[in-house]
Amino acid sequence: MYRLSAAVATPVALLFSAMRVLITGAAGMLGQDLIGATVDAGHVLVALPRAELDIADHAAVESAVRDARPDVVFNCAAYTNVDGCETNLETAFAVNGEGAGNVARACAGVGAWIVHVSSDYVFDGCKREPYVESDATRPLSQYGRSKLAGEQAVAETAPNGHTIVRSSWLFGSRGPCFPATILRLAAERDALSVVDDQIGCPTFTGHLAQALLSLAAERPAGVIHVAADGQCSWYEFAQAIVEAGGLACEVRPGRTEDLGRPAPRPAYSVLRSERAGAPTLPAWPEGLDAFMAAGVRVG
């Protein structure tokens, strides 16, 4: 368990008055960046990775939240194996659906605000203009359905104390992600085929973490979309990654249907917010620059 007292924190920028913060899923890519942002802001932190807190365990969640006495809980815990969710339905819904409800219920019990992280996969991708918060959800995959179930559980269980943040195509310097994989493969091969028929907003977790902290301070209720500015295909993203890495690998456009993946993906999942005061993130190329500057973990 990662615990830090505000008295020993050395804030880089104390943006808000100190809060007591609990992070679930703290060992994940977003969770680790959120730890860094929370420490830099001088908040009191309890960070729990899955090894220390399985959010599918209702009793364990109640105990952890009660002991931490947080002002805000960031629920970053999720089962994110999109293809695995197609066959591991029980796990997907236990974590992404019921687990999110467990965290929200525990928050409501102690008067804490929950910031729950959700996904662009709650949409079917049939639009050709950005999805906003009021658009109807229609997930194509079991992963998307489980994440939508989590949104509903949070809203129902903590009706007066939640912010649900949908984001898109997360990548970061503290865990396995698309840019790290592309850099590894591009160093090993002369050419790569990457799909050009899925469009989204690659979002750097370092940027998203800062936005989540601002939302915790402001506490807007309901659903809010927070994703990188701009849009691109996976193919265009891969081209930019290879160029940023100074690699000679050729990137060729491919088709999703040729991959034979078990879970369907939305063809278009660009997110924008229609809510006044919603956080705005830098454009995805700036996120890629930040990723490269942070030091590459190739995976």
**Which residues are tagged catalytic?**
143
3 state SS of 274: coil
Between the CA atoms of 278, 282, 283 and 284, what dihedral angle is there, to the nearest 10 degrees? -110
Residue with tokens 């912010």: 163
Pair of tokens at residue 187: 């160093």
Amino acid at 84: G
- Alpha helix (H) residue ranges in the chain: 29-40, 58-68, 82-85, 89-92, 100-110, 142-157, 178-188, 205-218, 234-244, 284-294
Q: Please state, as a whole number, how many other Cβ atoms lie within 10 Å of the Cβ of residue 57.
A: 14
